[in-house]
Structure 1
Amino acid sequence: MRVTVEEPWPTTESEARAVQERLRGTVVARDDFPPIRRLVAVDAHYSEADRTTWAAVAEVDPRTLELTRSVLLARPTSFPYVTGLLSFREVPAMAAALAMLPEPPDMVLVDGQGMAHPRRFGLACHLGVVTGLPTVGVAKSRLVGRFDPPGMARGASSPMYHRKELVGVALRTRDGTNPLFVSVGHRVSLQTAVDLVLAVTPKWRLPEPIRLADRVSRMHRP
């Protein structure tokens, strides 16, 4: 799979925000993907000692959620940590890791925000637009948006609004645990994103593909 990351890559906050404003209109917020035969999740981990970003891809069997393939790739970290601009640190490494797969995935779960973002262009949106792949944002914490706490049972959900716009859903994936924050990335509708996340989270709080990607992203540690 060939992936081209826009060049030159932004190096300042103002340049990065301008890119988000320019590309936000290219996000497709409706279902536009084939039957899911190749399901992957992506995650990233930083090594501050040598300013390296480690990006991981975990591919799972959509029926059993068992790991079928993984990729771990390292690239220099070229953008500082700035709230709302995380994608400019992670997308180059994530896109390069996805490009190492022998075939493009049918769906990508991203450990991060999608449209639940101040400029409606979080990590999952950015990665989806750059690669052209269907993506879903699955975040462990809220960046923007107000919501009523969902019920305590698994599957309970509550819509999340920011500036009167529906940007995501707070989803309880395990009885009594904190909700996850699911939002559109690219080429997926919000309802489909919620249904998919719940379907691949049979036991723990986090979707199984993202749990596996997190483990792979930390395998470089001694």
Structure 2
Amino acid sequence: MLQSFPRPKDLREAAAIQKSLAEAVILQGDVGSARYVAALDASHPTRFSKVQGVSVAAAVLWNRQAGGVLEVATAWMDEADLFPYVPGFLSFRESPVYLAALAKLSCFPEVLLVDGQGVAHPRRLGIAAHLGVHLDVPAIGVAKTLLFGKPERELSKEAGSAVRLMHGSVQIGWVYRSRKGVQPLFVSPGHRVGMEESLVFLRSLVGKTRLPEPLRTAHLKAGEARRNSVVVNDK
């Protein structure tokens, strides 16, 4: 299932791959009964980082019924081996190291929750959609910043409020405020999940911070592993 991820030779080829794979995206499905979720986040070096040249991805296997972490797997790649960072092409940079982390989990998840975009993307194939199609598994993108589209109206500051994210007359996701007064998240289905169902699913994972708890844990684990320059597989 975790087959190798293609690396395009340039942005023109990358855009063509995205447009082609976007046709395979299925925006239908209800994952409300799923028990095992894998939250994916990555940590890259900055000019202030003590550890340079290494990017780390964390895959956190989360049990929705128990409301906790079952397993954490991390994987790393040298920055020199990664596709360059270009907005709109994040999947080509981060997916290989995400796949390496997923391969270390003892069981494969029923749903992927990815730090990034689903179909709220200029070519309808953000990283959650790309991974979802690549693995043929339900996937949802949860981004901290807006990449594409416009909210249909102003979002209330109340916790749990949501408005549709639009591209013209087409809905491509949600603008969602998880906690009162915090900056919103941008939620969009990636593959095999419906638009309404993606928001319902995310709301079931709300914790005490802005991010849903599985993604918050993945963010912390990826940063911790990269800072320590240690790749771990905690079970």
TM-score normalized with structure 2 length: 0.88
Cα drift, residue 50 of structure 1 = 4.7
User: Is residue 118–residue 128 contact of structure 2 (8 Å, CA) maintained in 1?
Assistant: yes
Cα drift, residue 33 of structure 1 = 5.1
Q: Once the two structures are superposed, what CA deviation does each residue of 1:141-195 show, in whole Å capped at 9, x if it has no partner?
A: 1101111222121111100111332111101111111111100111111111101
Task: Give the counterpart of 1:89 among 80, 85, 93.
Answer: 93
Matched letter for residue 72 of structure 1: T
Matched letter for residue 196 of structure 1: F
Cα drift, residue 34 of structure 1 = 8.3
**Does residue 99 in structure 1 map to residue 103 in structure 2?**
yes
Cα drift, residue 201 of structure 1 = 0.8
User: Is residue 65–residue 208 contact of structure 1 (8 Å, CA) maintained in 2?
Assistant: no
Instruction: Sort the Cα spacing of 1:33 and 1:151 in 2 relative to 1 into closer, same or farther, 3 A.
Output: closer
Instruction: Sort the Cα spacing of 1:62 and 1:119 in 2 relative to 1 into closer, same or farther, 3 A.
Output: same
**Does residue 62 in structure 1 map to residue 64 in structure 2?**
yes
User: Is residue 65–residue 209 contact of structure 1 (8 Å, CA) maintained in 2?
Assistant: no
- Counterparts of 1:120-199 in structure 2, within 5 Å, are 120-147=124-151, 148-199=153-204
2:53 aligned partner:
51
Identical counterparts, % of pairs: 36
User: Is residue 11–residue 79 contact of structure 1 (8 Å, CA) maintained in 2?
Assistant: no
Task: Tell which deviates more after alignment, 136-145 or 74-83.
Answer: 74-83
- Cα distance in 2, alignment partners of residues 68 and 106 from structure 1: 14
Instruction: Sort the Cα spacing of 1:4 and 1:25 in 2 relative to 1 into closer, same or farther, 3 A.
Output: same
User: Is residue 43–residue 55 contact of structure 2 (8 Å, CA) maintained in 1?
Assistant: yes
- Cα distance in 2, alignment partners of residues 176 and 219 from structure 1: 28
Task: Give the counterpart of 2:9 among 11, 21, 30.
Answer: 11
1:206 aligned partner:
211
- Cα distance in 2, alignment partners of residues 182 and 103 from structure 1: 26
Secondary structure of 1:26 counterpart? coil
User: Is residue 59–residue 74 contact of structure 2 (8 Å, CA) maintained in 1?
Assistant: yes
TM-score normalized with structure 1 length: 0.93
Alpha-carbon RMSD across the aligned residues, in angstroms, is: 1.6
The gaps in structure 2 that reach 5 residues or longer are 229-235
Matched letter for residue 17 of structure 1: A
Task: Tell which deviates more after alignment, 136-145 or 148-157.
Answer: 148-157
Task: Give the counterpart of 1:119 among 117, 123, 127.
Answer: 123
